[in-house]
Structures are given as structure tokens and as C-alpha cells.
């Protein structure tokens, strides 16, 4: 018997345009992180070597998208680029009404404005920072109904983004369907590590919502990546195309908010899509005041053109295999070296588990924030904290919200970096892991009132390891 | 050489489509006689707006390629911030996806019930954003500004006496800021003089009320100051622009006009505490403070645009091409707002169509006729845009019934302008045959975007044009 020879995959494109990046010296990085208050958001991009802060708006467009940029129709009203975008969304996502917005949070803002009344409750599969903010600003309370497995970074279930049907039913019972304007359904779930939902779950959530007459709104930002996971791991979907799976997933929902800056391979843009005529009419009235005329929604015509082309490119099977293949390539390298990461690896990022990475740093000392800063200091790789800093404070008590997951996200922009870049990232993470005892944690020196992770500033705690580290380890944190 | 030519050559063109008269009749009927609802492909010459419709330069397109799309701390933001600070002298620069977002952030911080926001004349989205917070938006133009046929160099000026009286009546504590729109778009694109800006600033000083500029067309305003204000003829237009901003405590800007960009805007502020609060709001609805909901490339295009727009050869060509259209129309007896302003010609529909009362929207009737005649898209700036419902169900008409022919920057040639003038003169020659319209739905906010109309008599479409 012969073992099948290993067959590599390669990117389904070649490089047409490049952008230089700069290596920095250790003293330069020490100065830069100090000036940035140990917050990677506040670093200047020019001081970053490999930028894994986010996959949002940082992707490389194709030559066809750039050609579309030139074709874009900048007419204020009735732009042909709008009609192209509308047709692409209707065809691939299947919703009837398409309202462009300048980015995803513009769509979230409008949905919250038209659907939520004070005192409402919005259940969802784990919070996302800007989404929860808009729900709360409109007077609603967010209730997490994700499956318990999502909170365990070592659980290997394939669909850790699923909604727990029992939890959702209990929320509906407790508050009554009239107080629930919609259920917010993320695919994939960002704060859980980019974990997908299954089609079986979408079907079940849809059935429950139908029974109570509650709308189901998809956060479709990475729904195409989610479709890839369904194709790979859900029984009966191996032979279905990503496009067909996306369409089926969407048809279980009543509309979606969308940041085109992720799946759709553009640098700016989003949309709100709805099936309900009345809700869509209200959304069009509101969009004029906040975003722009309903046929441009605050986007240049060329950006609608690029997004319309991006829809078609994003559902391409080879593209998605290479996209997620690269994320898993990095995940595999870290796992082999024993670095604690969230498993299984999701679609857009590898998440370092800062609790297990830095067991000696208690959560109040912001271990994930400290780890992101340490990684930058080692190599100029920029990552993002997704832990206690991102979770913010409880509006009622003013205390830190303490999420079960204390993570550092290494987010991979689409079509931008090569495997060699991934090797550099892995080597740096492993280096930091080997010297993890030297990372002491941080204290807050400036805290903005909302979405604090964007602009908060920190200072490193002095190295009093022998006492503090021992005490904290013994608490079993 | 007396002829003023374009200080550029054309590097990239975009085809436009001719339509037939029967096609246009069907298109107009399907759009409910609201030109906002007509597909752009069905328009030959699009004068709906000069906002975001200009042609970018080769340097701006090169900037588009250089744009840094990093989520945080991108070098395109650093360049953008430097360009805005250099022009305005204001330390805090917040990019926004367009001008109305800057207005929304500003007024949700300073507005609210019981507050009064005075302006020389509010633009439509500005008014909507002020009123959305519960504050009152009131206009204080000089009287000359309301008389279309009168020649006055600075019809955009604010009536300082009326302003002071209103502040006293409201109580200065309830006037969070005073805004000057330069140029004054809703009043015919008319400029505001340096003397008037200084006078408003001086009048506000005792009250400690900050002065803000709605700076969308600051360069055109600066050029008209250079042309018309005594003692300013020999100053570089950039100096004049900087002096204008030196009196301001902040500004909102839609870069889609004098930023020569297709998308984008900014809010610039002097006050540290207000800027910090504005940044919080910016993050929530626009984006992180170093991109504000714009692609990095758009920040590059604006930074370059703010330099190009103050080029004197460009401004001379720009203003001359608008004036050229104004002269052709005046020569043929078409009543227009005099003297022509910076970015558009405003036809005085009330004077041209005295047989159509304001309640039957003479401006909208003219807009429809011009489209049917030649495929030209213009916009009504009269009772459709600014009419207010009275308690008895009738409507308070706007002060003026205007039709705006907004000229996109660097897009159309003199031949396009000649074609346009001929079409308008032809409509003017048979103006008595035009009839009024009835509004069949009226949305509560910004109704001119989505309202629909019917001709007042069934025969109006065929007989009226």
C-alpha cells in the first residue's frame, strides 16, 4: 500500500500590484508601543511589519475590481453601479430590498433605529462590539443565547457558533415575543473565534422564530466563510456549491446587515438587506438622513461596483479554499508548537488563548492586551485584543464584564499575505510563548466611555513576578 | 489672450447616452416626475448636483492607488490630517463618510430641544440634522439675498442685527453655535464676504458663542472674495481661505464639493473636550478615528483635492464656465439669480412661470420640462425642498422658487454648456404652456428625495411642454 503523496494547494491568483512594507528595529518598536499606550489600535500603520489587526477592509482587490473602480458611476441618484450591486445581492443572498451603507455599522445603526423600541430584548449568538452598541443605544438589551461549547476554547465541536435552541426558547418565554424585535444571528461568530453555525441550526432557529412571529436577522459579514464550513463539515452538503449553501442559509432569515469589508473583498462598503416591504421603506427614509440617498448610501459609485464584483469572487470555491487554507496553515503551525489557540480554527483568524498562554496574569491585568503588545514588540506583527478590554463594562454596575474567552486575534486579510509572512508570524508567536513568563500585564491609564478597546491607553505593570505571579497562579484563574 | 481655457487636458472619458423624446416621457412618468428617481443611464447631462460628481485628477487617481487601507493609524490619514490642519488651522480632524455625517455628529452633541441654531441659510441635510435633535434651525440672510434679480456682490452674507436680536430673544445659553454656509447653497450659491465673517465673529464674541463654517464650497467663496471684495484682489486665494477659517471654531465639510473627491467629508474642531466626545460618536456610527468610514484611498484623494482646488487657474476656469452659462441665459432673457454664484446657475422659476403658483411647484414643472426637452437633469430648490405644512393642511411656500443647474467640476465642456443653454432657452420660449404639479406623497423628512408628482391636468404632459 502506498501512502498518497502530499499535494499542496496554491492561491488561485497571481500578484499584479505590490505595496512595500517596512521592518522596524527593537528600539523603534519600543518607542512606538509606548507612544500608542500599549494599545495596538493606536500604532501607526507605517510602524507595523505584518498587520493582522483586522481582516476588515484590508484585503487586496482583484484587477477586475480595480477595473470596476474605473467604471463606477458617480451619479448622485440612480447610479448604474447601484443597480449592479442590487442585482448581485438579490441573486447571491436572495433578499428583495438592498440598501447600501458606508459600512457594516451603518447598516446596524439603521436596523436598530427602525426595528427596536425601548425595553426590547435582542437575543443573539454572542455579542459583537458595534452590533451590541447600536442595539443598546436604541434602548434594547442584548441576551447571549450561543451554545455553551462556544465559551470553551478547547472544545472541538465543528459548529460552535450555533444558537442554543433551549436558551432562545427560555428567553422568548421570559420576555414574550412582543418584546423581541428580532433575533441577531451571526455567521460566523467573531468573538467566539470565527466559529460557524450549521444549516441544521439555521433551520431550527428559523422554525422557532416563525412559531412566535419573530424576525431573524443575519449578520452576513462572513456568511460565505460560514458556507465553506458547512460544505466541509455538515452531512449532506459536501457536493453543494458555496453559492448554493449561502443562498439556503440566507433564505432561513428575513434580512441581513453586511459589512462588505470582509467576505466581499472591498476596502469600504456594506448594506442592509430586507424582505419586508414596510421595514424596507422605513429604512430608506432613515438612510437618507444618516448615510446618503438610497441609491448610493454614502458610498462612491465605484465602491458599489467593486462590491458587486466581490460578491461573485467571494463564492468561488478555489478562493475560499485558499482563504481558509491560509488561516489553517497558521493555526496548524502554532498548534504543532504547543501554543494554546482556540480550536477548531475558524474562518478569518487564529485566536491565541491568553488565559492558557499567560496563566500567571489575572484577567484584571488585561492578559490579552499585554500579549498583543508583546507580540508587536517581538516582531512588529500587529494583533487585536478580544477579551476583557473589548467586553467593556456593565452599564448597570460599572464593573468590568469578564468574558470567558480572553483572546488575541491574529486576523488574516484576504489575498494580501503569503505563506512566508505566515511563517514569520508563527515564529514570532512561538518566540513570545517561550518567554511568556516575562509578560506581567497592564494597568488602564485612560478609558473612553464606550467601545473602550479602540482608544484606551495602558501602562505596563512592574515586574514583581515572584510574589504576584505565584499568588495569581494559585487562584486557579 | 482673453479666452479662458481649462487648465488641464482630458485623460479618461465616460460615454453618455442620448435618449428619444418618447423614451424620456415614459421614464419621467415611471419616476413619478421626481428626477431623483430617474436612472443615471437615462440622463444625458446630469446637473442634479455638483456633489461627488467631479472628475478627479491624475494625481488624485495616483493617490487612490497609494491609499493605505490599514484600519488604524494609516499613512493616508496622516496626510489627510496634515492637509486639513494646514488649511483650517483647526487641531482636531475627524474624517467622515460624507458631510451629513459630520453635521449629525456635531448637532447631536450641541443640539436638543430649546436650542436655536442660526445659519445664513441652512442647507437641506443641515436643517434635517439640526431639527432631528429637537433644536430650531433658523435662517438669517441679508434682505438682498432674498431678491433674485438684484445685483449684490455678497448675497450670502448674514444679517448680523437680526442674528443678535435672535440670540438675545433665545438667550445666549441656548445658542450652541452660529453657522455660516459658504457659499450659501440654498440661496443661489452666493458668497459671504470676509467683512461679514469678521462682523459675525465680533458679534458672537461677547456671548462666547462659537462660529462654525459649513465649508463645502470654501474655495469658490474665497475666489469670489478675491474678485469682489475691496482690497482682496492681489491676495493669493489660499491666504483668503485661511483667513476665513481663522475666525472659525470648527467646520463641517463635504469633500464631495471643494475637496474634489467622490466621497468623504470631515468635522474639524478647536475645542479639545468637544473633539473627544465627537470621536466617541464617530467610532460608533462612522468608523475608527483614523479612517472615519472612508477607504484610505479616499483620504488620499481628498488631501490632494484640497491642494488642487485652491489653484487659481482652476478656480478662474471653474467660475468662468459657470458665469458663461449665466451670460448665455441672461442674454436670452431667462430670469436667473443674479449675479451667478460659484457652483451653479439658479433659474428663477417664479419669475419665469408666474402663471404657476408656488403650491403647484413651478420649479418642479421646469425641471420636468428641461428633462423632456433635452435629457438634462436639474433640481428644484423651492417649495418642494423647503415648503412647510401649515396646521390647516395648506403649505407655507419657500421664500424663492428656484431651479438649480449645478455644474460638476471638470466634467463638462463648453459644448455641453451650449447645448444646455439652447435647451433652456427653448423651454423659456414656450413657458406659457407649462402647467403645475400636485404632490401625491410627502415623506416627513427630506421629502424632495422621494416625493412623487402628478401633472395637474391629464393633458399637461403633452400640452405643457
Give the residues across from B159 on adjacent strands: none
User: Which residue in the list A129, A131, A221, A257 is annotated as catalytic?
Assistant: A129
Secondary element (H or E) of residue B158: none
Counting DSSP H helices and E strands in chain B, the numbers are 17, 16
- Confirm or reject contact between A48 and chain B (CB < 8 A): yes
Q: Which of B148, B146, B232 is nearest to B197 (CA)?
A: B232
Cell of B207: 456671548
User: Are the beta carbons of B100 and B323 closer than 8 angstroms?
Assistant: no
Grid cell digits, residue A76:
448622485
Tens-place pLDDT, residues A396-412: 899 999 999 999 999 99
Active site (annotated) includes residue A376? no
pLDDT at A10: 83
Q: How many helices (H) and strands (E) does chain A have?
A: 17, 14
A293 and chain B in contact, CB less than 8 A: yes
Mean pLDDT of all residues in A189-215: 96
Determine whether the interchain pair B71/A56 forms a contact, defined as Cβ–Cβ distance below 8 Å.
yes
How close B37 comes to chain A (CA, Å)? 6
The answer to whether residue A137 neighbours chain B at the CB level (below 8 Å) is yes
Is residue A229 annotated as part of the catalytic site, yes or no?
no
pLDDT at A470: 44
- Cα separation of B310 and B241, whole Å? 9
Region A123-134: what's the mean pLDDT?
91
CB contact under 8 A, B293 and A58: no
A9 vs B141, which has greater pLDDT?
B141
Inter-chain residue contact B71 with A58, CB threshold 8 Å = yes
Catalytic position from the list A386, A409, A414, A415? A386
- Using 50, 70 and 90 to split pLDDT, how confident is the model at A344? very high
Quote the longest CA-to-CA distance of chain A. 69
The model's pTM is: 0.88
**Closest by CA position to B264, among listed B296, B310, B307:** B296
What is the structure's pLDDT at A289?
81
Query: Is A468 a residue whose pLDDT tops 70?
Result: no
Interface check for A313 against chain B (CB to CB < 8 A): the answer is no
8 Å CB contact of B284 and A44: no
Q: What is the mean pLDDT of chain A?
A: 93
pLDDT grade for A464, boundaries at 50, 70 and 90: low
pLDDT in tens, A425-461: 999 999 999 999 999 999 999 999 888 999 999 999 9
Say if residue A178's pLDDT is above 60.
yes
Q: Which of B41, B48, B73 sits opposite A45 (nearest CB)?
A: B73
Q: Which residues pair with B345 in a beta bridge?
A: B405
Name residues 63-92 of chain A within 8 A of B (Cβ): 69-70, 73-80, 83
What is the four-CA torsion angle of A464, A467, A470, A475, rounded to 10 degrees? -100
Are the beta carbons of A75 and B37 separated by less than 8 Å? Answer: no
Q: Which phi and psi angles does B23 have, rounded to 5°?
A: -60, -45
Q: pLDDT value at position A1?
A: 54
pLDDT at A179 over 60: yes
Work out the number of other CB atoms within 10 angstroms of the CB of residue A325: 15
- For the question of residue A212 being annotated catalytic, the response is no
**A144 a catalytic residue:** no
Tell me, yes or no, if A219 is annotated catalytic.
yes
| Number of Cα atoms under 13 Å in the Cβ half of residue B116 | 18
Contact A268 B295 (CB under 8 A): yes
Q: Model confidence at A466, in pLDDT bands (50, 70, 90)? A: very low
Which residues of chain B register pLDDT less than 50? 458-465
Q: Are A468 and A64 in contact (CB under 8 A)?
A: no
CA B450, CA B289: separation in Å to the nearest integer? 32
Catalytic: which of A49, A95, A128, A271?
A: A128
Q: Which of residues 106-135 of A touch B (CB under 8 A)?
A: 106, 109, 130, 133-134
Cell output for B68: 493605505
Whole-number percent of chain A with pLDDT over 90: 87
pLDDT at A196 over 70: yes
pLDDT on residue B392: 86
Q: Does A301 contact B298 at a Cβ distance shorter than 8 Å?
A: no
Q: What is the pLDDT of residues A16-63, one digit of tens each?
A: 899 999 999 999 999 999 999 999 999 999 999 999 999 999 999 999
Q: Do A42 and B72 touch (CB under 8 A)?
A: yes
Instruction: Answer whether A57 sits within 8 Å of B69, measured CB to CB.
Output: yes
pLDDT tens profile A411-425: 999 999 999 999 999
SS3 of residue B36 by DSSP: helix
The predicted-structure confidence for A306-316, as pLDDT tens digits, reads as follows 999 999 999 99
Q: Is the pLDDT of residue A469 over 50?
A: no
Chain A residues inside the 8 Å CB shell of B70: 45, 48, 51, 53, 58
Q: Classify B95 as helix, strand or coil.
A: strand
Taking contacts as CB-CB distances below 8 angstroms, the residues of chain A near B404 are none
**What's residue B156's pLDDT?**
94
Q: Touching check for A47 and chain B: CB below 8 Å? A: yes
Check: CB of residue B51 under 8 Å from CB of residue B57.
Answer: no
CB contact under 8 A, B262 and A302: yes
A292-306: per-residue pLDDT in tens? 889 999 999 999 999
As for the ipTM of the complex, it is: 0.83
Who among A45, A284, A301 is closest to B70 (CB)?
A: A45
pLDDT at B37: 93
Q: Where are the alpha helices (DSSP H) in A36-102?
A: 63-71, 80-92
Q: What is the C-alpha to C-alpha distance for residues A216 and B277, in angstroms, rounded to an integer? A: 34
Q: What is the mean pLDDT of residues A252-259?
A: 98
Amino acid at each position: 500500500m502506498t501512502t498518497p503523496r502530499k499535494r499542496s494547494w496554491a492561491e488561485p491568483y497571481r500578484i499584479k500590484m505590490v505595496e512595500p512594507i517596512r521592518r522596524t528595529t527593537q528600539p523603534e518598536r519600543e518607542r512606538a508601543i509606548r507612544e500608542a499606550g500599549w494599545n495596538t489600535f493606536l500604532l501607526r500603520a507605517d510602524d507595523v511589519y505584518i498587520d493582522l489587526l483586522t481582516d476588515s477592509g484590508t484585503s487586496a482587490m482583484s484587477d477586475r475590481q480595480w477595473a470596476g473602480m474605473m467604471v463606477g458611476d458617480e451619479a448622485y441618484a440612480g447610479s448604474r453601479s447601484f443597480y449592479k450591486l442590487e442585482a448581485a445581492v438579490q441573486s447571491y443572498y436572495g433578499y428583495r430590498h438592498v440598501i447600501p451603507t458606508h459600512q457594516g455599522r451603518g447598516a446596524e445603526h439603521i436596523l436598530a433605529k427602525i426595528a427596536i423600541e425601548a425595553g426590547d430584548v435582542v437575543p443573539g449568538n454572542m455579542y459583537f462590539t458595534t452590533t451590541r452598541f447600536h442595539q443598546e443605544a436604541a434602548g434594547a438589551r442584548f441576551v447571549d443565547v450561543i451554545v455553551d461549547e462556544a465559551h470553551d476554547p478547547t472544545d472541538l465541536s465543528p459548529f460552535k457558533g450555533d444558537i442554543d435552541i433551549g436558551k432562545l426558547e427560555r428567553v422568548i418565554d421570559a420576555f414574550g415575543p412582543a418584546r423581541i424585535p428580532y433575533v441577531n444571528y451571526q455567521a460566523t461568530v467573531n468573538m467566539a473565534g470565527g466559529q460557524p453555525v450549521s444549516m441544521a441550526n439555521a433551520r431550527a432557529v428559523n422554525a422557532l422564530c416563525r412559531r412566535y412571529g419573530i424576525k431573524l436577522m443575519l449578520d452576513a459579514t462572513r456568511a460565505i466563510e460560514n458556507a465553506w464550513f458547512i460544505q466541509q463539515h455538515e452531512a449532506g452538503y459536501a457536493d453543494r456549491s458555496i453559492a448554493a449553501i449561502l443562498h439556503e442559509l440566507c433564505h432561513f432569515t428575513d434580512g441581513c446587515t453586511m459589512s462588505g469589508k470582509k467576505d466581499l473583498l472591498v476596502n469600504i462598503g456594506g448594506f442592509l438587506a430586507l424582505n419586508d416591504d414596510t421595514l424596507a421603506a422605513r429604512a430608506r427614509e432613515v438612510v437618507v438622513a444618516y448615510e446618503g440617498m438610497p441609491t448610493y448610501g454614502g458610498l462612491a459609485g465605484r465602491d458599489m461596483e467593486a462590491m458587486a464584483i466581490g460578491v461573485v469572487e467571494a463564492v468561488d470555491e478555489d478562493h475560499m479554499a485558499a482563504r481558509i487554507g491560509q488561516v489553517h496553515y497558521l493555526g496548524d503551525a502554532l498548534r504543532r508548537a504547543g501554543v494554546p489557540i482556540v480550536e477548531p480554527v475558524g474562518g478569518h483568524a487564529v485566536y491565541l488563548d491568553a488565559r492558557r498562554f499567560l496563566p500567571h496574569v489575572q484577567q484584571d491585568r488585561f492578559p490579552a492586551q499585554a500579549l498583543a503588545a508583546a507580540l508587536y514588540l517581538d516582531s512588529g506583527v500587529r494583533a487585536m485584543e478580544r477579551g476583557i478590554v473589548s467586553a467593556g463594562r456593565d452599564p448597570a454596575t460599572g464593573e468590568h464584564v469578564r468574558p470567558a474567552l480572553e483572546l488575541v486575534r491574529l486576523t488574516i486579510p484576504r489575498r494580501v499575505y503569503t505563506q512566508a509572512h505566515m511563517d514569520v508570524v508563527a515564529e514570532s508567536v512561538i518566540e513570545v510563548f517561550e518567554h511568556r513568563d516575562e509578560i506581567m500585564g497592564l494597568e488602564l491609564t485612560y478609558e473612553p466611555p464606550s467601545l473602550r478597546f479602540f482608544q484606551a491607553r495602558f501602562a505596563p505593570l512592574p515586574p514583581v513576578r515572584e510574589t504576584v505571579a505565584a499568588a495569581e497562579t494559585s487562584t486557579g484563574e | 489672450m482673453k479666452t479662458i481655457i481649462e487648465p488641464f487636458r482630458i485623460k479618461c472619458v465616460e460615454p453618455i447616452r442620448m435618449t428619444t423624446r418618447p423614451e424620456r416621457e415614459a421614464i419621467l412618468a415611471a419616476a413619478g416626475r421626481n428626477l431623483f428617481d430617474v436612472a443615471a443611464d437615462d440622463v444625458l447631462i446630469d446637473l442634479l448636483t455638483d456633489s461627488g460628481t467631479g472628475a478627479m485628477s491624475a494625481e488624485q487617481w495616483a493617490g487612490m492607488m497609494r491609499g493605505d487601507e490599514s484600519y488604524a493609524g494609516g499613512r493616508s490619514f496622516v496626510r489627510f490630517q496634515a492637509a486639513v490642519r494646514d488649511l483650517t488651522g483647526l487641531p482636531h480632524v475627524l474624517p467622515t463618510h460624507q458631510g451629513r455625517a459630520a453635521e449629525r455628529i456635531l448637532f447631536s452633541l450641541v443640539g436638543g430641544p430649546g436650542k436655536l441654531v442660526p445659519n445664513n441659510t441652512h442647507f437641506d441635510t443641515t436643517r434635517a440634522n439640526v431639527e432631528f435633535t429637537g433644536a430650531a434651525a433658523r435662517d438669517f440672510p441679508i434682505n438682498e439675498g432674498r431678491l433674485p434679480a438684484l445685483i449684490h456682490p455678497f448675497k450670502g452674507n448674514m444679517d448680523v442685527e437680526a442674528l443678535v436680536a435672535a440670540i438675545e430673544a433665545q438667550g445666549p445659553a441656548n445658542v450652541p453655535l452660529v453657522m455660516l454656509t459658504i457659499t450659501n447653497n440654498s440661496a443661489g450659491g452666493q458668497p459671504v464676504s470676509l467683512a461679514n465673517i469678521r462682523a459675525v465673529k465680533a458679534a458672537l464674541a461677547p456671548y462666547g458663542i462659537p462660529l462654525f463654517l459649513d465649508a463645502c464650497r470654501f474655495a469658490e467663496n474665497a475666489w469670489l472674495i478675491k474678485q469682489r471684495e475691496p482690497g482682496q484682489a492681489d491676495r493669493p486665494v489660499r491666504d483668503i481661505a485661511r483667513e476665513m477659517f481663522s475666525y472659525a471654531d470648527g467646520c463641517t465639510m463635504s469633500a464631495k464639493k471643494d475637496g474634489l473627491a467622490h466621497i468623504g467629508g470631515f468635522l474639524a474642531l478647536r475645542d479639545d473636550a468637544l473633539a473627544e466626545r465627537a470621536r466617541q460618536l464617530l467610532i460608533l456610527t462612522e468608523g475608527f478615528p483614523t479612517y472615519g468610514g472612508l477607504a484610505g484611498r479616499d483620504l488620499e484623494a481628498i488631501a490632494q483635492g484640497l491642494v488642487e482646488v485652491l489653484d487659481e487657474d482652476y478656480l478662474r476656469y471653474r467660475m468662468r464656465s459657470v458665469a458663461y452659462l449665466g451670460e448665455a441665459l441672461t442674454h436670452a432673457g431667462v430670469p436667473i439669480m443674479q449675479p451667478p454664484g460659484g457652483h451653479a446657475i439658479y433659474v428663477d422659476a417664479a419669475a419665469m412661470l408666474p402663471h404657476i403658483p408656488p403650491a403647484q411647484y413651478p420649479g418642479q414643472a421646469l425641471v420636468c420640462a428641461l428633462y423632456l426637452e433635452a435629457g438634462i437633469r436639474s433640481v428644484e430648490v423651492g417649495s418642494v425642498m423647503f415648503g412647510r405644512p401649515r396646521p390647516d393642511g395648506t403649505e407655507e411656500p419657500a421664500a424663492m422658487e428656484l431651479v438649480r443647474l449645478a455644474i460638476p467640476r471638470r466634467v463638462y465642456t463648453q459644448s455641453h454648456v451650449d447645448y444646455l443653454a439652447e435647451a433652456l432657452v427653448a423651454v423659456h420660449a414656450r413657458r406659457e404652456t407649462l402647467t403645475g404639479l400636485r404632490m401625491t406623497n410627502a415623506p416627513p423628512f427630506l421629502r424632495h428625495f422621494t416625493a412623487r408628482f402628478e401633472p395637474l391636468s391629464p393633458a399637461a404632459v403633452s400640452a405643457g411642454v
